[in-house]
Each structure stands twice: as structure tokens, then as C-alpha cells.
Amino acid sequence: MTLMTEWATGTVGERAISALSATARADWDLFTDWCTATGRTPITSTWADLSDFLAEIPASTVIQQRRVRHIQTVLEQEPTGLPRPLVVATARPGPQWLTYPDAMTALRHEWHPEGVAARRDALILTLAAHGFTRNRIRRLRPQQTTTFPEPVVDSFSLPRHRDPVLCPRCALTRWLAILDAYRHRSGRDIEDLLTDARTHSTLHPGHDCLTTDLTEGWRHAPWLICPIDRHGALTPDRPVTRRALTAILTRRFIRPDEKPPTAAEPVAISEASSPGDRRLDRRQREELDELYAKIEADADALNTRIEILLLNAQ
């Protein structure tokens, strides 16, 4: 690869970041996530770093040109186009990872309690596959979502897929149905929903996005993506954490017959704070914080590889 000169030496302008569109912000967030995972600092990136970023997060030429344009806008650099020569690296999943279609197919949407988390996780996988970063996913609110005239999440219009299992619109509809059923804070309503859905899918399998009648109950949820415990109970008053999102992606892509790698430790992290954590003394909390910091660094690197896998599956 040709040696390239440094392209960013100043500070990032907060004004430029605040003025970004939703698409531009997604491109910038993806770049900063990649920089964190690879031990780089965005404001001191070089042309070589940019070329590595484009090679490790492959996409079409049009998308890569858009990413470069948005990144350079934030860094207040003159537009230069794509680096030449541009190395296109095709990431290949190792034997321990499921493909995107296999991960989606493995989710059981109609059984309680696993169907509750399965529906939420299907939407998380779908959004990640379409370029949503962890920070963007965890900050989503129902007010940023519409279902008519077409499903839209944070200004992104969800496409329809011919396979209901892989259909982004169905993934959104299934999860909104859970939030809608929980409008009275009743877990029994969710269980009844899944039971009815299981019966319906057996008799008439098809697109939930075309057959599910949603009321406005889901709009009253504080967050679009919330923590869920192992019993299928929602914690709607707080968003899911970044660590939990990484754990979810890891858990859904690890083959059930494979031993998870070391970086998959976030699977053990609770999605919501446990009351037992408050009984730790200061030394134990400090040790736990250090452990979480290490796991966070490993998880960022793992999440970057998962994002590559998702992009290649499109």
C-alpha cells in the first residue's frame, strides 16, 4: 500500500458533529467504534488508518465514498475521495460464528419466555446489519419509530424481505407487539400474545408485518430497546447497556456446539443492574470496574468483527 500522509491533526469540531444528519452520524459512530476497537484515536487518524477502516469494514464504492465524505466533514478536512490504491478485504467468519441468516433463523419468536428476548434480539440484529451502532441502538425511543405508511426507525426506512424470518419489517412488528402487550405492565399479556402467535404461525405462516394489528400501546414505552431478564420480564424504564448489546450479538452468533472465545465474556454480564451488586465493598467494586473495562475493550474488538460479518451478509 502506498504511504499516505496524515489527514487529521486538529480537534474535532462539536459544531460539525451536531449538524450531522442521521446517516452521517451513523457513519461517524461506526468510524469511532472501529477506532476504539483497534486502539486508534479518530482525531489523530492517518490516511493509512482510513484505508484500513475501509478495508476492514467493506461496502460498495458508493457507501465507502459517503463514509469518507462524512468523516472528513466532521474532521473539517478537504474532500479527497477514496484512498488509492483501495484494498478491499473480504472478512470471512471463523467456524465458531453463525451466518446472519442462520442467526436469525435460530431465534424462536413464539415461545415463552425465550420468545420475548428473541423478538428484541431479532430487531437488534436487523438494525446492526443495516449500519446501526450500539450507541445508536440503545438510545432509540418509540418516538423515533413509525409503522405507517411504512416502517421507519430513526429516519431509516426498513425494507421488506421475501422471507418472513429475515424481513426487517417483521422484526420490528414482532417487537412492537411485545411492547404493545406490555402497556399494562402485564407479563401474562405477553405470554398470551406468544401463544396466539405460535398457533397462528403454525396454521398460516407468513409476514407478521402484514397481518399483525398493533394498537398505540407501544408508543408509551420509555425506550425502544430495553433489558429483559431470563424469565422474559421487561425492564422498560432503562435502555439496554452497550455491554449487554455486545453480549447479545455474541450470544446470537456463537454456534451452540462451539466453545465461545475469551472475548465473549460479556455474555455473562447482566442486562440490568442486579440488586446484589450494591452489597459489594469498595475494593470489590474497583476490581469489578477493572474487569468490566477489560471486557469492554475486548468486546469492542469483537463487535467490530461482528459488524463486518453482518455487512458481508447483506
Looking at residue 53, its pLDDT comes to 86
Mean pLDDT of the chain: 75
* Beta-carbon count within 10 A of 95 CB: 6
User: Alpha-carbon distance 218 to 226, whole Å?
Assistant: 12
Burial 43-52 (b: 16+ CB within 10 A, else e): eebbbbbbbb
pLDDT tens digits, one per residue of 136-175 = 999 999 999 999 889 999 999 999 999 999 999 999 999 9
Position 3 pLDDT exceeds 70: no
User: Alpha-carbon distance 187 to 178, whole Å?
Assistant: 10
Position 119 pLDDT exceeds 80: yes
Looking at residue 2, its pLDDT comes to 29
Q: Name the least confident of 3-17, 138-152, 193-207, 280-294.
A: 3-17
Extract the C-alpha cell encoding 302. Answer: 469483537
Residue 214: exposed, middle, or buried by beta-carbon count in 10 A (0-12, 13-18, 19+)?
middle
Looking at residue 219, its pLDDT comes to 93
Q: Is the pTM of this model over 0.85?
A: no
pLDDT tens digits, one per residue of 238-278 = 999 988 898 898 888 887 765 444 333 333 334 544 334 44
How would residue 111 be classed by pLDDT, with cut points 50, 70 and 90? confident
Looking at residue 154, its pLDDT comes to 95
